[in-house]
Structure formats: structure tokens, C-alpha cells
Chain A
């Protein structure tokens, strides 16, 4: 069945270092979304990418959608302690209205 894979599972960084999480889908996606979940919180929508090769920025966060629309990445420049949490990518499931979430990358930032 359709899968959305994410790596790494965990990442420990020193504050100020960069961080990247990668997402790969087994099928071509019409769009991809990214969510952030703080410890003890619920997932919060960050962004949606739709176009092949699309790049979007939100302050220190850069999101990319691959040319083949099967992979995506989230890059954080100069991490801060407020970036701590789990980052999920998600894409539309086939044959319905559901969304398939990746396993998530948990980011730890050491001050």
C-alpha cells in the first residue's frame, strides 16, 4: 500500500546548528504538507506544497517539493530551542479523502 517514509527518526543538534528532515512517498503526490507537534501538544499545520520543484520559506524554515513530486524536505537554519518537537510530512492517500502521515522526525535542541 501507499507509504510515506521519513528520515531521520531522531536528530539531536546544538542550538545554532542546522537541521533537515526528508520525506519520501511510494507514489506521486498531488501535494505534501508539513506539520509540527510540540511535546505534549497536537500537530499544527506548517505549510502545503503543490507544484513540482516548489520551494517555500517561513523565516528560518525552508520547504522543498521534489521535481517528481515524490519527495520533500524541511530545512531549519540555525535551530533554536523553540524548534523542539516532531515534524511530520503528510500526503493525500489514494482512492479517498484521507491523509497519510510520515513517521515523523523528532528534533532535540541543546542550548
Chain B
């Protein structure tokens, strides 16, 4: 599995856009980029995933660079409830979907 690198922690003001970067320089052509978040002591929550095109859903947007070596998760209007650990994962285990979590980015939304 390709490995990912994320900043350990970030702060963002409430109401502003939170931009969370992720490097995955060794990603393979068939690997997707997934984002999950984990609010304290709860199970990880799926946010979004993509292969090479930018993606948007009701929670967030995912911007993937053209070379696919990095991506950015964007929370457009951060609220206090977005305070969580955010995990960027690459996954292409067809038929054997082991998710390899790193340590993630601890995002704190400041009132």
C-alpha cells in the first residue's frame, strides 16, 4: 500500500474553509484516495474518495493534483463539530480492502 503524509495538527477559524493536505507520492495508478474523520472516541466516518478527478459531496470537496501525488480535503465552512482527526488513505486492494491508517491530522476549529 502507498503511504500518506499529513501534518500532525491544524487549526481553522469557525466559518472559514479548512484545507487539509495529504502527500501520497508513491500512489499507484489503480489506488483511490479516501478521507475519513474520527471524532473523539467514535468510529471513523467516511467523508469522500476519488481516483483522479476532483470530487464534491455534501460534506467536503477533494482536490487531487494532476500527477496524483497529493490531495487536499476542503471543508468549505468549518463548524465546531468538524473538530476531529482526519485520515487520508490510499486503497487499491481489490478483493482485500485493508485500510491502512496513519496518524492523521488533528483539526481544531477555533470559535
Asked if A and B are interacting partners, one says no
**A residues touching B (Cβ–Cβ < 8 Å)?**
none
